[in-house]
Structure 1
Amino acid sequence: MSSLAFLLAAIAEIAGCFSFWAWLRMDRSPLWLIPGIASLCLFAWALTLVDSSHAGRAYAAYGGVYIVSAIAWLWLVEGARPDRWDLLGGAICLSGAALILWGPRPA
């Protein structure tokens, strides 16, 4: 369930932030902000679904998922193919996220 929550959060956050980017940097209508704000609210809600006893740990682990999702957005939405350094950096971040979320902890 946590993986799906992270994926939903990442898509919602990137889409919400992109709406602001489109408005401010691409001269799009301010109406782009309406779905953007709704998307950012969905992002915040989705992170509450992560199976973690501490919010900070969920947020830290989410950082790795966000980085990999942003690289996918770069490729799929913006049409810029990631290079090997993007992919290697994303893999390192995702590995770190897994350690943060699922690493062994004392009971």
Structure 2
Amino acid sequence: MTAALYLAAALFEIAGCFAVWMWWRLDRTPLWLVPGIASLCLFAWLLTLVDADHAGRTYAAYGSVYILSAILWLWGVERVRPDRWDLIGVAVSLVGAAIILYGPRPR
């Protein structure tokens, strides 16, 4: 369930940021901001559904899923194939997230 929430949150965060990018950087209509803001609100709400004791750890682990999702966005939406350095960076960040989420901690 955590992975699905993180992936959904990443999709909504990237979509929201992309909407702002379209308006600000590509000079598109400000109407792009409407779905962008809605998407960013959904992103924030989804992160609150992750079963974790501390928000900081949730956000830190989410960062790696965001990195993975951003590279998938680069490939799928922007049609730029990730290179080996993109893939190595994603792998390293996912290992880091696993350490943050599943590392042993005293109770």
Give TM class, smaller chain: over 0.9
Normalising by structure 2, report the TM-score: 0.98
Q: How many Å apart are 1:36 and its aligned residue?
A: 0.2
- Residue identity over aligned pairs, in percent, reads 69
In the other structure, the counterpart of 2:41 is 41
Alignment of 1:3-14 (within 5 A): 3-14=3-14
* Deviation per residue, 1:25-72 (Å, 9 max, x gap): 112110000000000000000000111100000000000110010000
Runs of 4+ in 1 over 6 A off after TM superposition: none
**Structure 2 gaps, min length 5:** none
What amino acid does structure 1 have at the position aligned with 2:10?
A: A
Equivalent pairs, count: 107
What amino acid does structure 1 have at the position aligned with 2:41?
A: C
In the other structure, the counterpart of 2:92 is 92
Cα distance in 1 for partners of 2:71, 2:20 equals: 18
What amino acid does structure 2 have at the position aligned with 1:36?
A: G
Q: How many Å apart are 1:106 and its aligned residue?
A: 1.1
What amino acid does structure 2 have at the position aligned with 1:5?
A: L
Cα distance in 1 for partners of 2:98, 2:18 equals: 26
**Structure 1 gaps, min length 5:** none
